[in-house]
Structures are given as structure tokens and as C-alpha cells.
Structure 1
Amino acid sequence: MLYAMIAKDAPGALQTRLDTRPVHLDHLNSLGKKLVFAGALLDAEDKPEGSIVVFEAENLAEAQAMADADPFVAAGVFSSYEVKRWRVAINTTGVEF
């Protein structure tokens, strides 16, 4: 099953995001095939203002644990984040989920 973490950055968190990014990427890479995709949400000036991360997990608790373990959470980059079950409606990538 797929789960999406939708996160919104805290005001003024850009420098913390940049400083924490290497360990954040290490965390995401450590998830292996459980990580489907991840990326920053960008504002009008193409600066990060949040994130979307899609996990493959057995259940919501597993997906929530992966999200909670993200170093961006501990560093206070996000003002809020939630994990929701996600279903692919259209997929033009050729990758099966």
C-alpha cells in the first residue's frame, strides 16, 4: 500500500532545511524500495516550502513511523505534516505500484 507524507515548512525554516538536508537524504535513501518518491514543494520563487514523500508500507503505522523518523521532523523544519493512504489514479511512468 502507498502512503503520502504531506509536510509544510515552518516559517523561517529554510536554513534549517538546508543544514539538515544531507541527513534527511540519508534517511530517505536508507528506506530502500519502501521509498517510492520524494521531493520539495516549491513557492513562487522556487524555494522549498514543504515536502511530499510517498512510502510503500504494510499499514499506516509503518508509514507514520518512517515519516516520524525523518530528520526534518526532529530539526523542526516542518510546522506540520500528515501521512495519508494514497492511491495512484493515473500513471504514465510505466512503473507498477
Structure 2
Amino acid sequence: MLYALLCNDKPDHLQLRLDTRASHLDYLSSLSDRLKFAGPFLGDDAKPNGSLVVVEAPDLDAAKEIAADDPYAKAGLFASVDIRPWNWAIKNPDNK
């Protein structure tokens, strides 16, 4: 099952995001095939203010664990994280 992790940064925490970015990217890489895609949300100023991460996990608890282990989450960057089951219906490369 796929899960979308919708993460919203705390206001005025851009520097924390930048300081933690390398370990966040390393963590995402460590997820290997469980990571389907990821990237930042951008504010009106074109600066990152959140993240969208889509992962494959056996259940919601496993998806929550993936989200909690993210260095951004551990650093306290996020004001909120919404984890929702997601169906990749259109342009899914696994559905050839």
C-alpha cells in the first residue's frame, strides 16, 4: 500500500530545514524501493515550506514509523504531518 506523507514546516524554520537537508536526503535514499517519490512544497517566495513523500509500507503504523524516523521530523521541523493511504492511478510506472 502507498502512503502520502504531507508535511508542513513550522513557520520561520527554513534554516533548520537547510541544516538538516543532507541527513534527510540520506534517510530518503536509505528507504530504497520503499520510497516512490518526494520533494518540497514551495511557498509564494519559492522557498521550501513542507514536504510530500510517498512511500510503500505494509500498513499505516509502518508509514508512521517511516515519517517519525525522518531527520526533519526528529529535528522538530514539522508543524504537522498528515499520513494518508494513496492510490497512484495515473502515470504510475509500475502499471505499464
Residue identity in the other structure for 1:33 = D
**Secondary structure at the counterpart of residue 20 of structure 1:** helix
Normalised by the length of structure 1, the TM-score is 0.93
Could you tell me how far 1:14 is from its partner in structure 2?
0.1
For residue 58 of structure 2, what is the aligned residue in structure 1?
Answer: 58
User: Could you report, residue by residue, the CA deviation over 1:40-77 in whole angstroms, capped at 9, with x for unpaired residues?
Assistant: 00011210011000001111111110011001011111
For residue 72 of structure 2, what is the aligned residue in structure 1?
Answer: 72
Q: Distance in 1 between matches of 2:17 and 2:54?
A: 19
The 5 Å alignment of 1:2-17 reads: 2-17=2-17
| Structure 1 residue runs of 4 or more that deviate by more than 4 Å after TM superposition | none
Normalised by the length of structure 2, the TM-score is 0.94
Q: Percent identity?
A: 46
The runs of 5 or more residues in structure 2 that have no matched partner are: none
**Secondary structure at the counterpart of residue 44 of structure 1:** coil
**How many residues were matched structurally?**
95
User: Could you report, residue by residue, the CA deviation over 1:4-39 in whole angstroms, capped at 9, with x for unpaired residues?
Assistant: 000100011100000000000111000000000010
Q: Distance in 1 between matches of 2:89 and 2:23?
A: 32
Residue identity in the other structure for 2:76 = G
The 5 Å alignment of 1:1-97 reads: 1-91=1-91, 95-96=93-94
